[in-house]
């Protein structure tokens, strides 16, 4: 088997994000994580929606699908079901993932599709010049809301834990090694994995979200002694989203249930072993007397 390096997963396209954007770091650690996994690029599918972060598939040598706004998860689920052997990754932003795409989150979690969902969360719409996003803090003033946001922000970590996700983690590009570790761990998790990445928007993001500010407030869950098998403690820590910056694995189900693909395969096998006869099917459409 060929040993792949990070460069094997980088396409010839050069990223066009703003200089200093956190997404550069995400792309770098992603290729490192894939090199550690060592799956050849043609066995990987990278799906995205619309936004700055959604450019990532084009910067890799994997199969890529840049879908419509907010619809990356449904497309990714279809691809995984059609070809279960593919390693499926999804890239999204906080707007793409938690606004127009928010309705898909609960269902991908309950189905437990074996894919890794990486959200680059910068609390702003960067591609469309700095409007409020679902994770923008209350009171934030932007070009389209000069009197400040009235709404409480979405809490991505608490959302995913409450929906029942088996793997929930958070990282930041200021800790490249730590971010690569949780992305690799999320990919290896046998089921749906969610990774929230605090990826600063250098152009429209608040000063409090930039790299320098992150370095002053980041706290490692591992160094705190957090047990990722403790779901209730994970939810308590997740409630501090927006005030604290915890990095690492909040929750990893110690006894992962079968992924959706496994259940589908089991049902197909059972059907082939004992297919229904014509009379049994007709009974479904025959009124009872």
Domains in the chain: ranges and CATH: 6-256 (3.40.50.970)
Q: Summarize the confidence of residues 250-275 as an average pLDDT.
A: 90
* pLDDT one-digit tens code per residue, 195-247: 999 998 888 878 777 777 888 889 999 999 999 999 999 999 999 998 999 99
Q: Any idea which residue has 């959200």 for tokens?
A: 119
HEC letters along 216-274: HHEEECCCCCCCCCCHHHHHHHHCCECCEEEEEEEEECCCCCCCHHHHHHHHHHHHHHC
Task: Give 66-122 pLDDT, tens digit per residue.
Answer: 998 889 999 999 999 999 999 999 999 988 889 888 889 999 999 999 999 999 998
pLDDT reading at 14 higher than 80: yes
| Lookup: tokens for 178 | 């730590």
Backbone angles phi, psi at 94, to 5 degrees: -65, -35
75's CB contacts (< 8 A; 6+ apart) are: 47, 65, 67
């Amino acid at each position: 088997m060929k040993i792949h390096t990070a460069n094997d997963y980088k396409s010839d396209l050069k990223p066009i994000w703003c200089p200093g954007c956190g997404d550069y770091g995400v792309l770098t650690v992603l290729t490192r994580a894939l090199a550690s996994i060592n799956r050849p690029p043609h066995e990987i599918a990278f799906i995205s929606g619309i936004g700055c972060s959604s450019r990532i598939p084009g910067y890799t040598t994997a199969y890529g699908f840049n879908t419509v706004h907010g619809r990356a998860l449904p497309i990714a689920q279809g691809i995984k079901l059609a070809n279960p052997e593919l390693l499926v990754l999804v890239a999204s932003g906080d707007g793409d993932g938690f606004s127009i795409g928010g309705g898909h989150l609960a269902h991908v979690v309950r189905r437990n599709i074996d894919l890794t969902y990486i959200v680059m969360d910068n609390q702003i719409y960067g591609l469309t010049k700095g409007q409020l996003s679902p994770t923008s803090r209350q009171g934030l003033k932007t070009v389209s809301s000069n009197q400040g946001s009235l709404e409480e922000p979405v809490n991505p970590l608490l959302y995913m834990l409450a929906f029942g996700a088996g793997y929930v983690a958070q990282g930041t590009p200021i800790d490249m090694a730590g971010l690569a570790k949780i992305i690799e761990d999320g990919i290896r998790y046998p089921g749906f994995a969610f990774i929230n990445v605090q990826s600063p928007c250098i152009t429209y993001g608040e000063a409090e979200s930039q790299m320098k500010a992150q370095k002053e407030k980041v706290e490692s869950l591992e160094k705190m002694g957090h047990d990722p098998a403790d779901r209730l403690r994970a939810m308590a820590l997740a409630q501090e989203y927006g005030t604290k910056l915890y990095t690492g694995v909040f929750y990893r189900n110690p006894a992962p249930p079968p992924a959706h693909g496994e259940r589908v395969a089991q049902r197909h096998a059972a059907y082939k072993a004992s297919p229904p006869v014509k009379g049994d099917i007709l009974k479904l459409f025959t009124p009872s007397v």
